[in-house]
Chain A
């Protein structure tokens, strides 16, 4: 792995934010170290000659299957909410989303 491909402190913060993972500072350092060791091992994939090879996203054994777009019975609200602590009537209740992100108030 080239030095510029190593994950630094700043990128760790970005990755944690992208992945929605709160990390304690000591944990972040430990994960950063292990992640870089892993990236170094996995970086060997670049050594394989793949000119002209199409990426394989799936085992590809099965043809695509389709079904009619019809309304079917689904879970009752009671079952949908049975594992949630954030119910408000027939809704999931979340804290304010205002003020988040670059376009937030």
Chain B
């Protein structure tokens, strides 16, 4: 097996035993990237020199016998809306094409301090607005399982990089499913942590009450390793939690005996792909076989999640994106007065989806609509949260689908944004309630594409997610799901 085909945990063990060097590991991923990136186009910016310098440093530290993080020498790809000091961070937007952050996001700082070589910055839908990575201002990323299909989004570049063997681990952001949906489309594990579990400092904000960073990984163990590294309180993010970080890797082998699992009735409708429903039911049966108690459960308000999410996300985004004025950073325009300068920079720098959401947010925050749209959405958000509180008074876990269908073809839905929005229905409720969810591979369906299932737990109970997800992974054979055939090299 080549190094780029290994999981982060396997690489960590080889590095720890000094059977390979961090430079060898990093070079393997760089070489793999050289051969498949022209087809997949996962990266906006590649940083091989930075990666190799970090790897050399790790090798020197290891040679000196220093205590190192389990992830030291394991390379990382980072979504390009997460700030990297000295490395441009574009948000896949023309507006931010040349922006070089002065500092690292906290999650990046933690990864760099742990000795994870930064391979590059991955593609996304502009400002994380989208579910296919087709809204990138630069180019669409392709799904390594089928190059004619989307990798999902908005963290599609991160997912494609890991699925194609161009990175063993990646960071994404999940505002309304942007880690979990691409994980499902690309056959990966994708975790959205509890709101507040991971610092948001240095994430370019989309919707501040919803944004979270999370890992995209080949296995549950890899996701647990990366979460263990990035989780924790951060004085730069007042919404980060001071709760102690749990032992996630220790939870992996604890099994599911005695756990109560609610099978979400709303995720099993006849209009969903029948093979996805079958995958969810197979997961339920596997949990039951291993000692969990599974019951179907209904959550009456989550069917309104789509409306609530898009109203609140647009309102928050219209406010958050007010900072992009072309004065302090970003696309710069000359004009006769300051308002014209701002308007031209924003008008020329933002793409159509970003403009649509800014205008939507502006419309629903106007006095004439504020009560009926914005406040009403916040009230329904409260009802959705109550649905989750009620569910977690009865169950340890909720099981459901990630998406209603497998990865769609590039361009198939580009003219129908509402169809793309509707595809997010299973991944929107969790963020509205701030609860953690994990998407994990559940095999492939008849077209040869991967399909995922989703587990959701009560706030700060990521451990129980890892217990159940790891068990389901073992039931599937315990190995990562890999694209068959692999993406063609040039």
A46 contact set on B, CB distance < 8 A: 372, 376
The answer to whether residues A31 and B359 also contact, given A44-B307, A56-B381, A83-B329 and a CB cut-off of 8 A, is yes
Q: In the assembled complex, how far is the CB of residue B421 from the closest CB belonging to chain A, in whole angstroms?
A: 8
Q: Between A and B, how many residue pairs show CB distances below 8 Å?
A: 178
Q: Which listed residue (A20, A48, A100) contacts B380, Cβ 8 A?
A: A48
Chain A residues 28-74 with CB under 8 Å of chain B are: 30-31, 34-35, 37-39, 41-46, 48, 50, 53-62, 65, 67
The answer to whether residues A45 and B311 also contact, given A23-B347, A38-B356, A61-B195 and a CB cut-off of 8 A, is yes
Name the residue among A7, A18, A23, A55 with the largest chain B CB count within 10 angstroms.
A55
Query: Is there contact, CB below 8 Å, between A84 and B307?
Result: no
Q: How far is the CA of A35 from the CA of B359 in the complex (A)?
A: 8
Query: Is there contact, CB below 8 Å, between B310 and A38?
Result: yes
Does A3 sit within 8 A of B, measured CB to CB?
Answer: no
B103 contact set on A, CB distance < 8 A: 75
Query: Is there contact, CB below 8 Å, between A22 and B347?
Result: yes
Query: Is there contact, CB below 8 Å, between A59 and B307?
Result: no
Query: Is there contact, CB below 8 Å, between A42 and B310?
Result: yes
B378 contact set on A, CB distance < 8 A: 55-57
Q: Which listed residue (B196, B325, B355) contacts A62, Cβ 8 A?
A: B196
A34 contact set on B, CB distance < 8 A: 356, 417
Binding stretch for chain A, among B39-47, B144-152, B330-338: B330-338
Q: In the assembled complex, how far is the CB of residue A27 from the closest CB belonging to chain B, in whole angstroms?
A: 8
Q: In the assembled complex, how far is the CB of residue A56 from the closest CB belonging to chain B, in whole angstroms?
A: 4
B432 contact set on A, CB distance < 8 A: 59
Q: How far is the CA of A57 from the CA of B432 in the complex (A)?
A: 10
* Chain B residues bordering chain A, tally (CB within 8 A): 75
Closest to B379 in A: A50
Q: How far is the CA of A94 from the CA of B364 in the complex (A)?
A: 30
Q: How far is the CA of A42 from the CA of B374 in the complex (A)?
A: 11
Query: Is there contact, CB below 8 Å, between B310 and A83?
Result: no
Query: Is there contact, CB below 8 Å, between B379 and A55?
Result: yes
Q: In the assembled complex, how far is the CB of residue B330 from the closest CB belonging to chain A, in whole angstroms?
A: 7
Query: Is there contact, CB below 8 Å, between B363 and A56?
Result: no
Closest to A64 in B: B238
Q: How far is the CA of A19 from the CA of B238 in the complex (A)?
A: 28
Q: How far is the CA of A15 from the CA of B368 in the complex (A)?
A: 13
Does B346 sit within 8 A of A, measured CB to CB?
Answer: yes
Does B490 sit within 8 A of A, measured CB to CB?
Answer: no
Q: How far is the CA of A63 from the CA of B398 in the complex (A)?
A: 25
Query: Is there contact, CB below 8 Å, between A61 and B194?
Result: yes
Does B139 sit within 8 A of A, measured CB to CB?
Answer: no
Query: Is there contact, CB below 8 Å, between A100 and B382?
Result: no
Query: Is there contact, CB below 8 Å, between B383 and A35?
Result: no
B325 contact set on A, CB distance < 8 A: 20
Closest to A101 in B: B339
A31 contact set on B, CB distance < 8 A: 352, 355-356, 359
B342 contact set on A, CB distance < 8 A: 20
Q: Which listed residue (A12, A27, A48, A83) contacts B100, Cβ 8 A?
A: A83
A90 contact set on B, CB distance < 8 A: none
Q: How far is the CA of A12 from the CA of B360 in the complex (A)?
A: 10
Q: How far is the CA of A35 from the CA of B363 in the complex (A)?
A: 9
Query: Is there contact, CB below 8 Å, between A58 and B311?
Result: no
The answer to whether residues A45 and B100 also contact, given A21-B347, A35-B359 and a CB cut-off of 8 A, is no
Q: How far is the CA of A77 from the CA of B20 in the complex (A)?
A: 43
Does B99 sit within 8 A of A, measured CB to CB?
Answer: yes
Query: Is there contact, CB below 8 Å, between A37 and B337?
Result: no
Closest to A11 in B: B363
Name the residue among A44, A50, A82, A99 with the largest chain B CB count within 10 angstroms.
A50
Using a CB–CB distance below 8 Å, which chain A residues touch chain B?
A: 5, 7, 11-12, 15-16, 18-24, 27, 30-31, 34-35, 37-39, 41-46, 48, 50, 53-62, 65, 67, 75, 79-80, 82-86, 92, 94-97, 99-100
A-B contacts, 29 of them at CB < 8 A, read: A15-B359, A18-B362, A18-B366, A19-B318, A19-B359, A20-B322, A22-B343, A22-B346, A27-B355, A35-B356, A39-B360, A42-B311, A43-B373, A44-B304, A50-B383, A53-B382, A54-B382, A61-B196, A61-B434, A62-B195, A65-B238, A65-B242, A84-B327, A84-B328, A85-B332, A86-B328, A94-B338, A95-B338, A96-B338
